[in-house]
Structure 1
């Protein structure tokens, strides 16, 4: 499961450069809800039971119709998160594509909201405000407390059904009740994670008080986009997107960090494939040559052994002849060596005699004396 920080980072990246359209669509939906409440109060301003019942019935119908547009807002967020084309026309997407599916799902959500807000509704319409300031302040605090409790209980109970509109947007043929069941199954085991995700935006909502709640125009769409990322994470889309980003970064990162551009990798593979194949072929040829030499040596050994075994079958005369032939060869070689030595010895004295027979200068002197 992707951490909350990663979900928020993906939400910010998806919203970057699109704040104008997102905020405008959010304001349009909230304005329709506000206008519906004002119309209901103006049509049934009485304090009698019939006026109150009719007013809530009218508000309930308006809530169903406005929630169809709210579902269209979620459809637009989903398109933005996936990088698809989007526009304000996405708000009426479900009015053009089987709005009954959204109406059925919204009916259950509206009934759940009505039940959780029923204590606040009864107290606000039956309790007397009083004439004193203390009674008025007590009524106000009690009303606010009941309203906050109702909102919190509704937000907790509706968590398993939060993915309904996204499922209806992804599956145009599914029914509203089936989308509710599929949302419950999808959120099984992820209830706490989604609750913590929603609570992480509470500090930002408190800080929006210092901006006179103007910051909510950015905070609430930001929260909705993060919930869209949570839905995509449940489908496994964020995991696939992260793997694709890591693969792209590894392909185009600087080579000194362990990655190389894809073109360089292909060129290197082509450059090194031929030498490697040649080296591998030479290695194979060497191995084949060594194998052939070994086989030849083994064949020679086998032939020698076979020859020796065959020679052992010869009679003793042939062995003597071979021995005599070998001895004659040795004697011939010795005779040749002796002849060469004798020639060298005879040559040296002859050269010495020639040198002694040459006339000397003192021979003339002794001849004259004679």
Structure 2
């Protein structure tokens, strides 16, 4: 897998869609920043709550923030997948996960389960945890293409796609380090273009994985649990 070709495909998908991509990045950053600002403003700036109340409110806010933001994270990934596939795309499409309770719940559960599995592997050793997080990285796209499969199948399919390509995925991310460093000299403004470029590259990476590994064919009913297989290969 040649990452230079993947990034070229990403640039082509963005060539006539930079306005949408930058707009989507601005909206996503604003929403995340706004939620955090409201929390800090109310609990710290206005209410000046006691340490006891703060210790209770903080984890609750973290949970609410996660529940709200995770579907947006999935929506953003799907937005760029549509761009790479040259499908009609609007900035509003990044909110598609909020239009269905099922999509919102499923996106949260998939994020929770992949995070839980990664944590369990990390408890063994740090490196296996990192490797597993990379192996589960395609789950967001797998679910987009197979919304009726169960959670375990979506995660397993991500592992199948990433088999033999984990290092390629790492190298793809490392290739953006120079761009991120350059963005410092633009006071972070350059991130409005770098983040779409990276997101589109990740979507193009998934498309290349599918071309190489073949389409996923399992179509099983949705379940709400997943078993941890501690004997699976890393």
Normalising to structure 2: TM-score of the pair?
Answer: 0.76
CA distance in 2 between counterparts of 1:112 and 1:27 reads 31
The answer to whether the 8 A contact 1:60-1:110 is kept is: no
Q: 1:107 deviation in Å?
A: 2.3
| Distance verdict in 2 for CA 1:113–1:180, change over 3 Å | closer
Q: 1:168 aligns to what?
A: 143
Q: 1:206/1:156 Cα in 2 relative to 1: closer, same or farther (>3 Å)?
A: farther
- Who is 2:68 aligned against? 65
User: Would you say how many aligned residue pairs link Structure 1 and Structure 2?
Assistant: 202
Q: CA deviation at 1:184?
A: 2.2
Contact 1:44 1:55 in 2 (8 A): no
Displacement of 1:222: 0.2
Deviation for aligned residue 1:238: 11
Answer yes or no: is the 8 Å Cα contact 2:161–2:213 preserved in 1.
no
What is the match of residue 22 of structure 1?
21
CA displacement, residues 40-73 of structure 1 (integer Å, 9 cap, x when unaligned): 2234334625413421321222222212022111
Separation of aligned partners in 2, 1:37 and 1:234:
36
Q: Distance in 2 between matches of 1:111 and 1:102?
A: 14
Deviation at 1:112, TM superposition (A): 7.8
CA deviation map 1:236-268 (0-9, x unaligned)? 0799xxxxxxxxxxxxxxxxxxxxxxxxxxxxx
The 1:197/1:167 distance shift into structure 2, 3 A limit, reads: same
Q: Supply the distance in 1 between the matched residues of 2:32 and 2:12 (Cα, whole angstroms).
A: 29
Q: State the distance in 2 between where 1:156 and 1:47 align.
A: 41
Partners of 1:92 and 1:169 in 2: how far apart? 14
Q: What corresponds to 2:89 in structure 1?
A: 86
> What is the distance in 2 between the residues matched to 1:42 and 1:108?
32
- Give the 3 Å change call, closer, same or farther, for CA 185–61 of structure 1 in structure 2: farther
How does the TM-score come out when normalised to structure 1?
A: 0.50
Does residue 107 of structure 1 match 2:82?
Answer: no
Q: Contact (CA 8 Å) 1:37, 1:59: kept in 2 or not? A: no
Consecutive unaligned residues in structure 1, runs of 5 or more? 116-152, 240-370
Q: How does 1:97-136 map to 2 (within 5 A)?
A: 97=100, 98-99=102-103, 100-108=105-113
Q: Is the partner of 1:228 in helix, strand or coil?
A: helix
Q: What is the CA distance between 1:177 and its match in structure 2?
A: 3.9
Alignment correspondent of 1:95 = 98
**Cα deviation, residue 209, structure 1:** 1.1
User: Are the structure 2 counterparts of residues 176 and 44 from structure 1 closer, same or farther at C-alpha, using a change threshold of 3 Å?
Assistant: farther
User: Are 1:204 and 2:207 an aligned pair?
Assistant: no
Equivalence map 1:221-260=2 (5 Å): 221-236=196-211
Unaligned runs of 5+ in 2: 121-127, 215-234
Q: 1-side partners of 2:81 and 2:52: how far apart?
A: 43
In 2, the alpha carbon distance for the partners of 1:189 and 1:79 equals: 25
Q: Deviation at 1:17?
A: 1.3
CA RMSD of aligned residues (A): 2.9
In structure 2, how many angstroms separate the alpha carbons of the residues matched to 1:101 and 1:6?
A: 32
Residue aligning to 1:185: 160
- Contact 2:131–2:166 at 8 Å: present in 1 too? no
